[in-house]
Structure 1
Amino acid sequence: MRKRKLKISDILFVVFILLLLIPQTRTPIQVAINKLKVAVWSPSVEDEEDQNEVAPFQYAVVDLQGNSQNISVGKGKVTFISYWATWCPPCIAELPGIQELYKDYGDKVNFILLTHEEPETVQRFIKKRGYELPIYFPQMQAPLILQENSIPTNFVISANGKILIKETGAADWNGTKVRELLDRLVSK
């Protein structure tokens, strides 16, 4: 019986697995992997026959300052909804792209980033990373069509309620495909 030679790739694989087992190194590795995925994974627009619609509604939310608001969804303005959390590596990986979109489209598109975490935790996270995003805490159950058990889950909804993009998992929200879609939607 021949003895198998140990390859450098075998050693690297073992080191990688060991690093994943150590809690302090797990999150940075997962974030790096997700950034790699985000760099190549662009959200896809639903085919017209597959597009669902959400009936217009008012999303009851509370902002980071504790103010209650009702934000229109599916009625008159394009909406970007993101379900996310500060402890979620894929969510963290896609936030820079969402921040860039918000900087360019924030006055033309309703951005609603929703989390169920403690406001203090979210405020620390946002401040540490320098984000300026409209983050809210839901005060109601979303319509069934917008409910998802996985985070991140993001939606782009047209001004008349068509769900044009539903993406679960990290994606490149600052990519050409999304920007072209938003440009078309806000120019109508």
Structure 2
Amino acid sequence: MTSIKKKHFLPLIVCLLVASYSFGQIKVSEFLQESKIASSDNNKLFFVDFWATWCVPCITAKEHLGVLQKQFPNDLYIVSLTEENPLRVEKFLKKKPTDLAIAIDYKGETFKDYNVRVLPEGVLFNADGKVLWQGGAPDLKKEIVSKFLRQQSSKASLNSFFNVVSIEEDTISEYVPTESLEIKSLSYNVEDLTIGDAEDYLKLTGSLKQIIGYLAKIYKNQIVLEEGLDTNYEIYFKKPLNANENLAFKLVTKMNLGVERKFAEGEGIKFNVETPRFWDTNQIDWGKNNAKYLVGDSQIQADNVSLKDVAYQLAFVLDMPVIVPDETDVSLGKHDWDFHYKFFQLMQTDLEDNYGIKAEKKKITYPVYHIQKKAP
């Protein structure tokens, strides 16, 4: 056990005593390991690397950050932070060890505070807790670190910068569902949908609208819930999942809700596929039970997913409906993807040249699903 883990309450006491310094601005529930490269004392910069065990690009990012940490062992301290169950993380580290410090986020607070939605992501702080830089973890370069080091004079230790707050043991034990579908209503608000794609289950935490949208791969504005229905839930689907089963319909049926399809008009994107040239599933391989998407600032990559899946991700980042062909083979077949989305004309070129997809942005008619309680 590391020295930090043995001293769960000491950093909190230090934070309370030293009022003149903004110590403890990053809360963690525990450190699974300290850095095997960097000094934990008197660092000018701290970098929080947001990651998850299921995120294959995060592993590549860690290799880059490991090299970067070796270049600045005395002035920069990198902490890889995950909001996953520590038991799962420890199991993962036995298979894929790292020399970087590993910590567990306290109730996901840091992920929420810095609006982390896409992994790998990172935030660079000075010793006073000021954010100097935020972006994709692989984009933090030696030159960026050197520039900020020249501008900083304050230093802080690891124990003073991170506030280790213990949590109850029963929250550490990992829950595994016993039923094929389990629904738990939450009393607190959840801003963003979180997805846990584990070996034994799929866990979704968020509002009912977010969860149904994810399961059905439908843009959020294409779902209208009866007043009072859009509350927050924790949903478990036990694996193995039936590939032919509509999980959104299964959830709605279990909750005794009805669905009525209507139509609306508005700006959107329509995909036409006359002669598909889709990639096969051998172009990208991120492994089983790992991330299916990597959505960057301008590029979407996906491993073994359908056109409908990709359209859902695109609708989310562009904030407009994306309509795909009705043909099942075209819209639901599994493929690998890598295309630009930030500039529409460049996206059009990518999609047509690489996949045979013609994308049009125009006023379209799209389905809207109205969900309400069934009459008793």
Q: TM-score, normalised by structure 1?
A: 0.52
For residues 171 and 185 of structure 1, the distance between their equivalents in structure 2, rounded to whole angstroms, comes to 22
For residues 134 and 125 of structure 1, the distance between their equivalents in structure 2, rounded to whole angstroms, comes to 14
Corresponding position: 1:123 with 2:78: no
2:131 equivalent in structure 1: 163
CA RMSD of aligned residues (A): 3.2
Alignment of 1:35-184 (within 5 A): 56-58=22-24, 59-61=26-28, 62-64=30-32, 77-139=44-106, 141-142=109-110, 145-168=113-136, 171-173=138-140, 175-181=141-147, 183-184=149-150
Q: Could you say if the C-alpha distance between residues 99 and 181 of structure 1 is closer, same or farther in structure 2, counting changes exceeding 3 Å?
A: same
Deviations 1:121-159 (A, max 9, x none): 323433333411111012252396523222222011122
Question: Which blocks of at least 5 consecutive residues in structure 1 are unaligned?
Answer: 1-54, 66-75
1:11 equivalent in structure 2: none
Question: Which blocks of at least 5 consecutive residues in structure 2 are unaligned?
Answer: 1-20, 34-42, 155-376
Q: TM-score, normalised by structure 2?
A: 0.28
| Structure 1 residue 87, shift from structure 2 partner | 0.8
Query: Post-superposition, which runs of at least 4 consecutive aligned residues in structure 1 deviate over 6 A?
Result: none
Q: Counterpart of 2:67 in structure 1: which amino acid?
A: E
**Matched residue count:** 123
| Structure 1 residue 172, shift from structure 2 partner | 4.1
| Structure 1 residue 167, shift from structure 2 partner | 0.3
For residues 100 and 130 of structure 2, the distance between their equivalents in structure 1, rounded to whole angstroms, comes to 24
Q: Counterpart of 1:163 in structure 2: which amino acid?
A: V
For residues 48 and 74 of structure 2, the distance between their equivalents in structure 1, rounded to whole angstroms, comes to 15
Please identify the structure whose Cα radius of gyration is greater: 2
For residues 120 and 82 of structure 2, the distance between their equivalents in structure 1, rounded to whole angstroms, comes to 10
Structure (1 or 2) with the greater strand fraction: 2
Q: Which has the higher contact order (CA 8 A, sep 6+)?
A: 1
Q: Secondary structure at the match of 1:142?
A: helix
2:208 equivalent in structure 1: none
Deviations 1:55-78 (A, max 9, x none): 93512320116xxxxxxxxxx842
Identity, % of aligned positions: 29
For residues 171 and 115 of structure 1, the distance between their equivalents in structure 2, rounded to whole angstroms, comes to 17
| Structure 1 residue 164, shift from structure 2 partner | 1.8
Deviations 1:18-57 (A, max 9, x none): xxxxxxxxxxxxxxxxxxxxxxxxxxxxxxxxxxxxx935
Q: Secondary structure at the match of 2:90?
A: helix
Deviations 1:76-102 (A, max 9, x none): 842101111111122122110111222
Structure (1 or 2) with the greater helix fraction: 1
Does the 8 A contact of 1:97 with 1:172 survive in 2? Answer: no
